Chain A
Amino acid sequence: MIIIFAVFLLTLLVITAIAIVRAENLFVAVMLMAIFSLLMAANFFILDAADVALTEAAIGAGVTTVIFLGALSLTAENEKKVELSRGVAMSIVTATTLLLIYATFEKPKLGDPEAPVHQHVAPWYLSETPKLIDIPNVVTAVLGSFRAYDTLGEVFVVFTACIGVLFLLSAKNPADKQSRRTPPESIGLRHHLIPKVVGRLLFPFIVLFGLYVQFHGEYGPGGGFQAGAIIATGIILFALLEGEKTALAAVPHSVMMAMVAGGALLYTMVGVVTMFMGGNFLDYSVLSSNPVFGQQMGIILIEAGVGITVCGALLAIFHAFAARENY
């Protein structure tokens, strides 16, 4: 049964992708993109990748769509109809597709246990985690400890993106002189009664769920990235409902920058502290007398760092886009 459901989802995925490319109206395309991400999340869930499904849903569907819509509001709605040289592009694309499909025949089949991927490094992780780090969720163990350096790099990718967006959107807007379109106190949604009431109800639970995901990372799917995204989307919902000024009052710009910088600094400092205590960079077992406990403490600390940075970054990016009109 699952197999039919998987095939159905995959075909739906292909259809949505083609629909996005062909959509004239950009707003429709962005909405289709959200559906595309949700389908992708569902596929991941079927393929036993719970953590990744949660991330894809939170970041892929949630945050990307918000940023796209923010950008759309500042640029054009529709795509100009122009016919570019489709022949050449079509031929390149079909050629590469055939090449890729040719390469699939010698790949190990889906779910084949003898595939080389399952022989070499993965069994070690599955067998060593209970002994060395003793936390149920092996993905968080690998993410937090075995390949912690990757995740550090990842935090700094988000950090760079946040700086980049702020740097780009802090330039003076040349078209600023003529009109200040929206009145100074942007009042959020106009016909706002129902969404405001429901929003105010929902908002605390979203943040609570975010915190749950943050600290539940070791036991089930979850972790810094997902938690940061969920909390950020919660606050963005608040900003959309209450209007950007009140949201900035709640989480001012300086706090956001402090969160972004603080999270990254926390993560790096954890590594540097382990260096000072005699281990290699990011070797948590030196953090406390009992190495297993040290590992767990290390993972919690860096997950907190990741969560803070991702939440701060996504908020800063949203506010940069939102504030752009009356800049």
Chain B
Amino acid sequence: MNPTEHLAALQVVVPFLAAPLIVLLKAKRLAWAATTLTSLLTFCIAIALTMGVLDGQNYQYFMGSWPAPYGIELKVDAFSAVVLLIITGASTSALIAGYHSLDKQIGAKRQPMFFAAWILALAGLAGIVVSADAFNIFVFMEISSLASYVLVAGGPDRRALPAVFKYLIFGTIGATFYLIGVGLIYMMTGTLNIEDMGVRIADVADQSPVLVAAGFITVGLALKAALFPLHIWLPNAYTFAPHIVTVFLAACATKVSLYVLFRFDFFVFQENLGGQQLHFTFFFLPLSVFAILIASAVALFERNLKRLLAWSSVAQIGYIVLGASLVSIAGLTASVLHVFNHAIAKGSLFLAVACLACHIKRLRLTDIAGCAKAMPWTMGAMVLAGLSLIGVPGTAGFISKWYLISAVLELGGATGVFLTAVIVLGSLMAVIYVWRIVEYAYFKPQGKKPAVSEAPFGILAITWIVAIGNLYFGINPELAVTLSESAASVLMGHNK
């Protein structure tokens, strides 16, 4: 058993082995330690996979040694490597940073179950990214969704429950739409393997069931990815979830649905259905523009800090979809790059919020007034992450903005200029709402609030590591860029 062969399978099997064991552990600290260890192990596997992908090795793994269309196949390419890195990285950093914050928010007796749900969410997300079988993706989507409902429902605030109920309803409808779409395609092509589907769909391409299937899959996955009109569940879910859960979910949960959407659209639909690019662009471009403008506008007037950042996540998803809807190599590179950079920026922002929450109970903007003097390190990390979100040069956000604007300008003509204006307007609004936070923290008087001291060292160290990650990937984004470029060529490669 030489582990490097089984890497793709181990990525999912390791958390699956850990989950039942963690449930049986009684001591809460032991459960946390086991979860963090497993998460770290999956992070190492993800790194190994990325290294393999970087030097050209393509991972193909047949479950149960049954050949492709008959058994289930796992496939890891550049795009999946990027998303895997974010999922496992976000989970590991959130777990390491978050013991005290979680311990405060979740009762001791319930923690083993909470951490088991966490590991299952991680396994579900990794399972989706690794799998190349349409129905298998549905099953793992269900595992990750159910687990994230449990994580969000762990929130101490009573309002977490209606929020998570709405999240469940929307998530289940999204997953079932996806199931209907896969069923219709299976009905017309007879296979469930995505590669095989792409080949066999050519001769039934323009029949109505396939078009309806494309519609169902796109709407279902857009709903799970909280793309603009279908994002209603996201703000409340992220606001009332425990702080550390928001760090994990904000960094990667919605991006996995986008990953599946792009794989389906660019592998199965793009090349076969006549004019699918036009449908794809005409459907997603306006939605992403609305997402960027309206979500950022709402974020401007938001009073609660976490909901403000949740709305900014909806806007950033708009950027990712905007990049992809250009249906060009440059556009796709920009969108995959932004998937990576946004995960880092948003992850560090929510980590900084978790640091704030160690001492400040309610996270309204008025509550964090003047806290910069007492918590200089936390606010320093938040400013750094905020700059990366805006896209100030030297940070990771800038690189993806740079690629996005060049991709849009390459489009040329009136739409190019209009889209540049939209992107620029979006980042200007980002400047305003990040500066609102900074101004409240640095310049507003402390007032009669109780004295606040700096966050504990553990969570602070992790926040700073991720914040510096923002800088590192701003100055030397070579890893992220090569991965996204090969991902874009793979996605577009299928599309002549």
Contact = CB atoms under 8 A, between A and B. Distances in A.
Given A164-B117, A268-B17, A283-B65, A117 B150 contact: no
A122 B70 CA distance: 9
Contacts of B109: 170
Interface string B137-149: 0011011001101
Interface stretch (B56-64, B220-228, B388-396, B429-437): B56-64
Interface stretch (A25-33, A240-248, A259-267): A259-267
Interface string B193-227: 00000001000100111011001000000000000
Interface stretch (B181-189, B302-310, B462-470): B181-189
Interface in A255-282: 257-258, 260-262, 264-265, 268-269, 271-272, 275-276, 278-282
Interface stretch (B20-28, B78-86, B229-237, B413-421): B20-28
Interface residues of B, number: 61
A125 B191 CA distance: 12
Contact of B136 (A150, A164, A272): A150
Contacts of B184: 103
Interface string A186-214: 00000000000000000000000000000
B147 A150 contact: no
A275 B62 CA distance: 12
A153 B13 contact: no
A167 B139 contact: no
Given A160-B147, A280-B6, A125 B70 contact: yes
Given A117-B186, A160-B146, A280-B9, A167 B110 contact: yes
B71 interface: yes
B190 A117 contact: yes
Interface in A137-168: 145-150, 152-154, 156-157, 159-161, 163-164, 166-168
Contact of B150 (A145, A167, A172, A261): A167
B195 to A, nearest CB: 13
Contacts of A122: 190
A233 interface: no
Most A CB within 10 A of own CB, among B16, B20, B187: B20
Contacts of B136: 149-150, 153
A119 interface: yes
A265 B20 contact: yes
Given A116-B189, A167-B117, A281 B208 contact: no
B16 A171 contact: no
Interface in B99-150: 107, 109-110, 113-114, 116-117, 120, 123-124, 127, 133, 135-136, 139-140, 142-143, 146-147, 149-150
A100 B183 CA distance: 13
Contacts of A258: 24
A135 B192 CA distance: 24
A284 interface: yes
A157 B146 contact: yes
A106 interface: yes
A268 B14 CA distance: 9
How many of chain A's residues touch chain B, expressed as a range? Answer: 35 or more
B154 interface: yes
Given A125-B70, A145-B64, A105 B208 contact: yes
Nearest to B17: A268
B477 interface: no
A150 B110 contact: no
A104 B16 CA distance: 40
A268 B120 CA distance: 14
A159 B20 contact: yes
B88 to A, nearest CB: 18
B169 interface: no
Given A115-B187, A152-B16, A159-B19, 16 more contacts: A103-B211, A116-B188, A116-B190, A118-B190, A120-B191, A154-B139, A159-B120, A163-B23, A167-B153, A170-B107, A171-B110, A257-B24, A260-B20, A261-B21, A281-B61, A281-B63
26 contacts: A102-B212, A103-B184, A103-B212, A107-B187, A107-B209, A119-B190, A122-B190, A124-B70, A146-B64, A149-B136, A152-B16, A153-B139, A153-B140, A153-B142, A156-B16, A160-B150, A167-B114, A170-B107, A260-B23, A262-B20, A275-B6, A280-B64, A281-B9, A281-B61, A281-B63, A282-B63
Interface of A: 99-100, 102-108, 115-122, 124-125, 128, 145-150, 152-154, 156-157, 159-161, 163-164, 166-168, 170-172, 257-258, 260-262, 264-265, 268-269, 271-272, 275-276, 278-285
